[in-house]
Chains A and B, each alone.
Chain A
Amino acid sequence: EAGVTQFPSHSVIEKGQTVTLRCDPISGHDNLYWYRRVMGKEIKFLLHFVKESKQDESGMPNNRFLAERTGGTYSTLKVQPAELEDSGVYFCASSQGGQKIQETQYFGPGTRLLVL
């Protein structure tokens, strides 16, 4: 069974440009999460989809970030326009479904974003 995949693995862009990150969850997983780790800091929650709906987007830093999950399969996270402080590693995770807070979240390898 394929794990969570993320694309690209690395992205280097200039301040003001747009970048779109993609996440493909484990097949059949209804829950999809985005997290971010800024250098030297802890991994922080951004948002949570249940199928195509946003369940919780309390961690999204500002309106330059737009997440979508059309059709309830893969998800994209767009940053527009990118700022220097957006640099970091963006992780995607997925879990199967149902209201189980002890459920395991399976993480992808992350996308390393560097904004110059």
Chain B
Amino acid sequence: AQSVTQLGSHVSVSEGALVLLRCNYSSSVPPYLFWYVQYPNQGLQLLLKYTSAATLVKGINGFEAEFKKSETSFHLTKPSAHMSDAAEYFCAVRTGYSTLTFGKGTMLLVSP
């Protein structure tokens, strides 16, 4: 069975600093991996997804993630945090037709 672990329920950064949100997955088959973001009072919005075409995936709002099979990781990064990046971020894996399996989420806090 597939699973996702997000390290850190809360991550705090200063505006302009590097953002690194960690995600490790467990899957017995090649995974399809997703990062979603939820801004306050909104639904989940897709940031980016890995579908085996390229290991470095670029998403919206300057975010990117690198798939590392040897480390079973799919960490999300952004070179310079913006105040508007404050939100909750979810890593998810999909190996079946129906189901997305989510991590517990990481709340990103950005201070001025």
Contact = CB atoms under 8 A, between A and B. Distances in A.
Looking at A44, A106, A107, the one whose CB has the most chain B CB atoms below 10 A away is: A107
Interface in B84-104: 90, 92, 94-104
B46 A102 contact: no
A45 B104 contact: no
Given A107-B43, A108-B43, A102 B51 contact: yes
Interface in A90-116: 91, 93, 99, 101-102, 104-110
Contacts of B34: 104
Size category of the A interface is: 20 to 34
Contacts, number: 60
Given A91-B43, A109-B41, A109-B42, A101 B104 contact: no
B105 to A, nearest CB: 7
Contacts of A105: 46, 100
Contacts of A110: 43
A104 B46 contact: yes
A101 B94 contact: yes
A48 interface: yes
Nearest to B52: A102
A58 B98 CA distance: 10
Contacts of B98: 33, 45, 48, 55-56
Question: Which 9 pairs from chain A and chain B are nearest by CB?
Answer: A107-B44, A48-B98, A56-B98, A102-B51, A43-B102, A109-B43, A107-B43, A45-B99, A42-B104
